[in-house]
Amino acid sequence: MRRTLATAILALTMAACSPYDTPADASPAPTTTCDRACWEAITQRQRNERAWWAEVVRQQQARAAWARLTAHLAARSSSYPAGQCGGSLPPCYVMRRESGGNIRAQNPRSTASGKWQFLDSTWARYGGYAKARHAPESVQDAKARLLWAGGRGCSHWSAC
């Protein structure tokens, strides 16, 4: 497509009808109006230029979409180790009972969601995410760490 457009634009520029395309030492161009063939060449050239610019814009949009996709995938595949529990987080038995370790889990009988089954009211849009299940595991673990508080927050989970 690009080669065809480039060839068409080159051919049209070689056969341009504009008085501005004449060499400087040539006699001045007549002041008559452009004939039908000249106008057809000009409009064809304009169509080709529009098609060329449309292709440039399409390629730029495709590159931008690819960049957004790769950035999203890179963010999702971060080096954060999955399935962490215990230590500064609630114990593993709490995680297994609440969600089985599924960070996208949704309780069918309440608003609880995510790896640690946070209620929406407890989650409170933490990290900018409306629900815990929409947040990455690292963000869910950070909120659990805050609530767990070294074991003092055990009352937040029914599994304790």
pLDDT in tens, 85-115: 988 999 999 999 999 999 999 999 999 999 9
Q: What are the tens digits of pLDDT across the range 1-51?
A: 666 666 666 555 555 555 555 555 555 555 557 788 888 889 999 999 999
CA distance 95 to 9: 65
Positions of CATH 1.10.530.10 in the chain: 92-156
In angstroms, the CA 92 to CA 98 distance is: 10
Q: Which two tokens stand for residue 32?
A: 């008559």
Sign of the torsion angle spanned by Cα atoms 140, 146, 148, 153: negative
Dihedral over alpha carbons 83, 100, 135, 106 (to 10 degrees): 180
Nearest to 111 by CA among 124, 97, 102: 124
Domain 92-156 in this protein, CATH class: mainly alpha
> Measured between alpha carbons, how far is 132 from 101 in angstroms, rounded to an integer?
13
Are residues 76 and 136 in contact, defined by beta-carbon separation less than 8 angstroms?
Answer: yes
What Cα–Cα distance (Å) separates residue 124 from each residue in 14, 60, 80, 142, 143? Answer: 67, 39, 23, 14, 10
Alpha-carbon distance 13 to 73, whole Å? 45
User: Binning pLDDT at 50, 70 and 90, where does residue 81 land?
Assistant: confident
Is 132 buried (19+), middle (13-18) or exposed (0-12) by CB count in 10 A? buried
Read off the pTM.
Answer: 0.52
Residue 101 DSSP class: T
Which regions of 4-160 does DSSP assign to beta strands (E)? none
